[in-house]
Amino acid sequence: MRRNRWRGTILFTVILVVMGTTIGLKLYGLGETVAPQAGAAASPSALPSAGSTATAPATPSATSAAPSTTKVVAGVVEQTPYGPVQVEVTFDGTKLVGVRELQSPSDDRRSVSINRQASPILAKEVLASQSAKVDTVSGATYTSEGYKQSVQSAIDQL
């Protein structure tokens, strides 16, 4: 009878691991994506994942669009305990359309690894929020703070 007591715990653990792996992959855009068939309505499962890029077909416009005013602004260099952080922000009018890292901590491999993971997350969050008010990336607190301050300085220069 004692042997059966663990059966539910083991089964529960296996289910959690499988679900965690599946959900974790989709959160980071690594899940499989399926393109919708022609003429079929897009269902939530057929839409591209958050990490993939999809291009919408161009639609002709009856009126010509106003010329865009694209401006690239470099934020200030923020010194962190692990090295400098600086970003460059691209604006189309007042809308943030791009963020590129110019400087990042690179003194040791651990700092490089942390930046490699945190920078794309921070850039996506900045573009989504259209501001420097984004959450700190776990494990990259100093980089996140420097990144946000550099973005804010670029926004202030606009």
Question: Would you say 115 and 102 are in contact if contact means Cβ atoms under 8 Å apart?
Answer: no
Q: What is the pTM of this model?
A: 0.58
pLDDT at 6: 61
Question: Would you say 98 and 107 are in contact if contact means Cβ atoms under 8 Å apart?
Answer: no
Give the span between the Cα atoms of 44 and 41, in whole angstroms. Answer: 10
Q: Tens digits of per-residue pLDDT, 58-116?
A: 444 445 555 668 999 999 999 999 999 999 999 999 899 999 999 999 889 999 999 99
Q: Tens digits of per-residue pLDDT, 40-52?
A: 444 444 444 444 4
Question: Would you say 83 and 146 are in contact if contact means Cβ atoms under 8 Å apart?
Answer: no
Architecture of domain 70-157: Alpha-Beta Complex (3.90)
Burial class (CB in 10 A: 0-12, 13-18, 19+), 136: middle
Domain segments of the chain: what residues?
1-32, 70-157
pLDDT at 120 over 90: yes
| Sequence-separated (6 or more) residues with CB below 8 Å from residue 148 | 122, 132, 133, 134, 136
pLDDT at 35 over 50: no
pLDDT at 153 over 80: yes
Question: Would you say 113 and 85 are in contact if contact means Cβ atoms under 8 Å apart?
Answer: no
Give the span between the Cα atoms of 81 and 109, in whole angstroms. Answer: 15
Question: Would you say 143 and 137 are in contact if contact means Cβ atoms under 8 Å apart?
Answer: yes
pLDDT at 3: 57
Say which residue, 18 or 141, is predicted with more confidence.
141
